[in-house]
Amino acid sequence: MNLFRAAHLRGRRLAIGAGALLLAGCASVDFEESVRQTNQDAAGFTQGRLALAGTPAQREVMAREADALLAQPLGQDEAVRLALLNSPALQALLANNWSEAATAAQGARIANPVFTFERMRSPDEVEFGRMLAFGLLDLITLPHRYGVARRQIAQAQLRLTTEVVDQVTRIRQTWVNAVAAQQKQSYAEQVYEAADAGAELAQRLQAVGNITRLQRARHQAFYADAATQLAGARHAALAAREALVRQLGLTDAQAARLQLPGQLPPLPAAPRTAGQVAQATTEQRLDVRQARLGFDAAAKAQGLTAVTSLTDIELGVRRDQTFDKAEGHTERARGYEIEVRLPLFDWGGMQRDSMNARTLAAANALEATLRAAGSELRESYSAYRTGYDIARHYRDEVLPLSKAISEENTLRYNGMLIGVFELLADSREQIGAVVNAINAQQQFWLADAALQAAVLGKPTAVAVGLAAAPGAAEAGH
């Protein structure tokens, strides 16, 4: 700090203390309110169920609800609800955000006053010095800092919403992947069974002398390939399921009880129109709001630096007492002390430049966010719409064609125009088409989750791949 001297303090102590308390009380954090706000802003994501479990009682209620959800096959919304209730990671996110907000609020408080006490002794004198000092600048800049803190708290609140949206989107997509992978596994099992039946039949045909070892070996090779494909599909299903287990934060016991529905939800009757999607105004978007707050905070901070960069002022109230041994009396002195850092070497120019630059950056970041928002939304919508169209094409064109091919081939088998091996090979092929259709449906639901996030202003959490499905490769040829 600065030089000390004995001083006496009394009188306005109370007044100052009361003022400081008053100011400090203004910039506090109500985390409950924050969560409520997120529940409101991202209602479609949290279903109004986002909550930080603080007490064992709360945790117990949540665990009971989680149990109820795990008792049945878990739909997409239920998966989100379960994560909100159950995921420690999500709870950690909430707690971290609380801490962040609290730190931000701290910035708007006055530093505690400094009390110094000195005892100086000379051969004939004892001197006591007491001083209660506090940063005058703290006081002067309080309204400013209060504004900054408020913005930082608001920013933290927005960040919370954004992170929750991001998490929920991930949960949705992970759920889609897990269900699709499980569905594909069941088709891989069917291909395997077809190949198995073919191999078994070939073996019996050879046993009675109707085909050669070469022919049997060829049919068996299909089977061997199908077995590999099935192993791969099983692992993929397990991996996708475990990814969901992690997203939901399930314990081992809970994971064992997790059931998924047999198939992805059907496509909606009609896709959302571009108009519906564009309804969310730009100003309401999370990314835009965040950028604007960033800019406001930077601008506010700049005003603050105009003062702080110039100087550092400290105000102290002094009360000194001197005991004169020779004369046997006590001298009292009161006064105040102002300490000013002389701007001889640093006139604060660099600091001002820095703040200017920061504000400028924030302004440009806001502008960039505004400009990107529409573009990102259009891209997300295109991914969604393309996903819908491809999945619908599979549903309305490819699958009926596959079905027709299967039916016609059965008729041809009935007419002894093709043999049982051709029939089996065809059924494998048609299953391949079904797997491609599942892939298309999976891509649609991934894009759907991404679009919901994008509409709110949290651009795609997971990239959506709309590359054409890789033929019937997965059917095991």
Partner 1 sequence: MTSRRTFLQALGISGGAVAAAGVGKAALAALPEPVIQTKPDTMAPLLPQTGRPYNPVVTLNGWTLPWRMNNGVKEFHLVAEPVVREMAPGFTAHLWGYNGQSPGPTIEVVEGDRVRIFVTNRLPEHTSIHWHGQRLPNGMDGVAGLNQPAIPSGKTYVYEFVARRPGTFMYHPHADEMVQMAMGMMGFWVTHPKGRHPLIDEVDRDFCFLLNAYDIDPGSYTPKIMTMLDFNLWSWNSRIFPGIDSLNVRLNDKVRIRIGNLTMTNHPIHLHGHEFLVTGTDGGPTPKGTRWYEVTTDVAVGQMRQIEFRADEEGDWAFHCHKSHHTMNAMGHDVPTLIGVDHRGIAKKISKLVPDYMVMGERGMADMTEMDMPIPDNTVPMMTGDGPFGSVEMGGMFSVVKVRRDQKPGDYSNPGWFKHPPGTMAREFDGAVQTPHRQSGAGGGQSMPRARQDASDVEVHVRKPTHKAGH
Give whichever of 104 and 191 is closer to partner 1, judged by the CB atom: 191
**Selected binder of partner 1 within 207, 221, 239, 338 (CB under 8 A):** 207
- Residue 442 makes contact with partner 1 by CB under 8 A: no
Give whichever of 293 and 434 is closer to partner 1, judged by the CB atom: 434
- Residue 419 makes contact with partner 1 by CB under 8 A: yes
Residue 108's φ and ψ, nearest 5 degrees, are -100, 15
Q: What is the DSSP string of 392-457?
A: HHIIIIIHHHHHHHHHHHHHHHHTTSS-HHHHHHHHHHHHHHHHHHHHHHHHHHHHHHHHHHHHHT
Give whichever of 402 and 460 is closer to partner 1, judged by the CB atom: 402
Q: How far is the CB of 439 from partner 1 (least distance, A)?
A: 20
CA angle at residue 290 from 285 to 296, to 5 degrees?
125
CA of residue 445 relative to chain centroid, distance: 19
**Selected binder of partner 1 within 18, 21, 306, 420 (CB under 8 A):** 420
Instruction: Evaluate whether 76 touches 82 at the Cβ level (below 8 Å).
Output: no
- Residue 363 makes contact with partner 1 by CB under 8 A: no
Distances (CA, A) of 133 to 2, 19, 21, 25, 139: 10, 15, 16, 21, 12
Q: Which stretch binds partner 1 (CB under 8 A): 186-194, 288-296, 396-404, 453-461?
A: 186-194
- The site map against partner 1 for 375-414 (x = CB under 8 A) is -------------------------------x-x-xxxxx
**Selected binder of partner 1 within 193, 312, 339, 379 (CB under 8 A):** 193
- Residue 214 makes contact with partner 1 by CB under 8 A: no
Give whichever of 15 and 208 is closer to partner 1, judged by the CB atom: 208
Q: Which stretch binds partner 1 (CB under 8 A): 87-95, 105-113, 195-203, 362-370?
A: 195-203
- Residue 427 makes contact with partner 1 by CB under 8 A: yes
One-letter amino acid for residue 102 of the chain: A
**Selected binder of partner 1 within 77, 367, 397, 422 (CB under 8 A):** 422
Q: How far is 160 from 458, CA to CA, in rounded Å? A: 12
CA of residue 241 relative to chain centroid, distance: 20
Specify which residues 132 forms β-bridges with: 115, 317
Q: How far is the CB of 196 from partner 1 (least distance, A)?
A: 7
Strands 125-135 and 313-324, sheet pairing = antiparallel
Q: How far is 91 from 40, CA to CA, in rounded Å? A: 18
Residue 325's φ and ψ, nearest 5 degrees, are -65, -40
Q: How many chain residues bind partner 1 (CB under 8 A)?
A: 34
Q: Which stretch binds partner 1 (CB under 8 A): 98-106, 209-217, 289-297, 383-391?
A: 209-217
Specify which residues 329 forms β-bridges with: 324
- Residue 211 makes contact with partner 1 by CB under 8 A: yes
The torsion of the CA quartet 281, 282, 287, 289, rounded to 10 degrees, works out to -90
- Residue 221 makes contact with partner 1 by CB under 8 A: no
Give whichever of 81 and 428 is closer to partner 1, judged by the CB atom: 428
- Residue 102 makes contact with partner 1 by CB under 8 A: no
Q: Which stretch binds partner 1 (CB under 8 A): 50-58, 133-141, 189-197, 252-260?
A: 189-197
E strand or H helix at 61, and its extent? helix 56-70
Strands 329-340 and 125-135, sheet pairing = unpaired
Alpha helices in 131-212 (DSSP H): 136-140, 142-207
Q: How far is the CB of 197 from partner 1 (least distance, A)?
A: 4
Which of positions 80-99 make contact with partner 1 (CB under 8 A)?
A: none
E strand or H helix at 337, and its extent? strand 329-340
- Which one-letter DSSP state was computed for residue 311? -
Q: How far is 317 from 250, CA to CA, in rounded Å? A: 59
Q: How far is the CB of 230 from partner 1 (least distance, A)?
A: 14
Give whichever of 324 and 408 is closer to partner 1, judged by the CB atom: 408
Give whichever of 194 and 449 is closer to partner 1, judged by the CB atom: 194
Q: Which stretch binds partner 1 (CB under 8 A): 191-199, 238-246, 309-317, 368-376?
A: 191-199
- Residue 208 makes contact with partner 1 by CB under 8 A: yes
Phi-psi category of residue 439: left, alpha or beta, with phi > 0 → left and psi -120 to 50 → alpha? alpha
Q: Which stretch binds partner 1 (CB under 8 A): 204-212, 287-295, 323-331, 355-363?
A: 204-212
Give whichever of 247 and 427 is closer to partner 1, judged by the CB atom: 427
List interacting residues with partner 1 (CB under 8 A).
Answer: 190, 193-194, 196-197, 200-201, 204-211, 406, 408, 410-424, 427, 431
